[in-house]
A and B are shown apart, each in its own frame.
Chain A
Amino acid sequence: MDLLQNFALGLSVALDPVNLLYCLIGVFAGMFVGVIPGIGPMTAISVLFPLTFYLPPTTAMIMLAGIWYGTTYGGSVASILLNIPGTASNAVTCLDGHPMAKSGRASVALLFTAVSSFVGGTLGTLLLMFFAPFIADVALSFGSAEYFALMLLGIVAASTISEGSASKGLAAVALGILIGCVGLDIYTGAPRLTFGRLELAEGVGLIPFAMGVFGVAEVIASIGNVREARLNSSTVGFRHMKPTRDEMRRSWKPMLRGSGIGAFFGTLPGTGPIVAAFMAYAIEKRVSKTPERFGKGAVEGLAAPEASNNSADMTAFIPTLALGIPGSPTMALMLGALIIHGITPGPSLMTDEPEVVWALVLSFWVGNLILLVMNIPLIGLWVRMLTIPYRWLFPTILAFICLGTYAVNTSSFDVWLVLVFGLIGYGMRQLGFPIAPMLLGFVLGPMMEEQFRRAMLLSRGDLMVFAERPISATVLAITAAILAWSVWSALKRSKPLADEQPE
Chain B
Amino acid sequence: MKRILETDVLGGIVLIAVAVLAAIALQDLPIGTARRMGPAFFPLAMCVIVGLFGIGQLAMALTRRGSAVSFSARKAGTILAGLAVFALLIGRLGLVPAMVALVLTVSFADKTTKPSQMLLLSMALSAVSIALFRYGLGLQLSLFKWDL
Contact = CB atoms under 8 A, between A and B. Distances in A.
Contact of A431 (B11, B56, B88, B91): B11
Given A167-B53, A402-B86, A395 B118 contact: yes
Chain B interface category by residue count: 35 or more
A427 B39 contact: no
A178 B75 contact: no
Interface stretch (A69-77, A188-196, A253-261, A262-270): A188-196
Contact of B54 (A171, A391, A418): A171
Contacts of A175: 15, 18, 50
Given A422-B80, A422-B83, A423-B76, A407 B11 contact: no
A419 B84 contact: yes
Nearest to B126: A399
B50 A456 contact: no
Nearest to B132: A51
Contacts of B20: none
Contacts, number: 190
A201 to B, nearest CB: 13
A180 B135 CA distance: 34
A171 B25 contact: no
A462 B33 CA distance: 11
Interface residues of chain A: helix, strand, loop or mixed (majority): helix
B80 A419 contact: yes
Interface residues of chain B: helix, strand, loop or mixed (majority): helix
A149 interface: no
A396 B112 contact: no
B103 A395 contact: yes
Interface residues of A, number: 68
A53 B38 CA distance: 35
Given A192-B40, A219-B79, A427-B71, 11 more contacts: A53-B137, A167-B57, A193-B43, A220-B72, A220-B76, A224-B110, A390-B110, A395-B102, A399-B103, A399-B122, A407-B137
16 contacts: A54-B138, A54-B139, A167-B56, A168-B11, A181-B46, A219-B79, A220-B76, A395-B122, A396-B121, A399-B102, A402-B83, A419-B84, A423-B80, A445-B46, A453-B41, A456-B37
Interface of B: 7-8, 10-11, 14-15, 18, 22, 25-26, 29-30, 33-43, 46-47, 49-50, 53-54, 56-57, 60, 63-65, 69-72, 75-76, 79-80, 82-84, 86-88, 90-91, 95, 98-99, 102-103, 106-107, 109-113, 117-118, 121-122, 125, 129, 132-133, 137-141
Interface of A: 51, 53-54, 167-168, 170-171, 174-175, 177-178, 181, 185, 187-188, 190, 192-193, 195, 216, 219-220, 223-224, 389-392, 394-396, 398-400, 402-403, 406-407, 410, 412, 415-416, 418-419, 422-423, 426-427, 430-433, 445, 449, 452-453, 456-457, 460-463, 494, 497-498, 501-503
